[in-house]
Amino acid sequence: MLFAQLLANGVLLGGLYGLMALGMSLVWGVLNIVNLAHGALIMLGGYCVYFLFTGLGIDPFAALPIAMLVLFAVGYVLQRFVLNLVIRSALLNTLLITFGLEVVLTYCAQLAFSADFRTINPPYAGANIDLLGVTLPVVRLGAFATALVLAALMWMLLERTKLGRAIRATAQNLTAARLYGVDPVQLYAITFGLGAALAGAAGGLYGLVSQVTPYMGSALTAKSFVIAIMGGLENPFGIVLGGVVIGLAEALAAIYIGPTFTDAISFGLLVLILVARPARSLQVT
Contacting positions for another protein (CB under 8 A): 28, 34, 82, 84-93, 95-97, 99-104, 106-108, 110-111, 184-185, 188, 222, 225-226, 229, 258, 260-261, 263-264, 266-268, 270-271, 274-275, 278, 281-282, 284-285
Minimum gap (Å) between residue 141 Cβ and another protein: 30
Q: How far apart, in whole angstroms, are the C-alpha atoms of residue 87 and residue 96?
A: 12
Cβ proximity to another protein: between 94 and 146 the closer is 94
Nearest to residue 35, comparing CAs of 271, 171, 188, 222? 222
Q: How far apart, in whole angstroms, are the C-alpha atoms of residue 211 and residue 118?
A: 6
Cβ proximity to another protein: between 132 and 284 the closer is 284
Minimum gap (Å) between residue 177 Cβ and another protein: 13
Cβ proximity to another protein: between 90 and 132 the closer is 90
Cβ proximity to another protein: between 56 and 90 the closer is 90
Q: How far apart, in whole angstroms, are the C-alpha atoms of residue 141 and residue 147?
A: 10
Nearest to residue 200, comparing CAs of 46, 13, 73? 46
Pairing of strands 128-131, 134-137: antiparallel
Cβ proximity to another protein: between 102 and 201 the closer is 102
CA Rg value for the chain = 19
Minimum gap (Å) between residue 81 Cβ and another protein: 10
Cβ proximity to another protein: between 49 and 239 the closer is 239
6, 252 contact by CB (below 8 A): yes
Minimum gap (Å) between residue 52 Cβ and another protein: 26
Nearest to residue 180, comparing CAs of 167, 192, 189? 167
Minimum gap (Å) between residue 260 Cβ and another protein: 5
Cβ proximity to another protein: between 84 and 235 the closer is 84
Minimum gap (Å) between residue 254 Cβ and another protein: 12
What is the phi/psi pair of residue 226, to 5°? Answer: -55, -45
Q: How far is CA 158 from CA 75, 85, 148, 154, 199, in A?
A: 18, 26, 15, 6, 17
| Residues in CB range of 207: below 8 A, 6 or more apart | 46, 49, 50, 60, 118, 119, 120
Minimum gap (Å) between residue 249 Cβ and another protein: 13
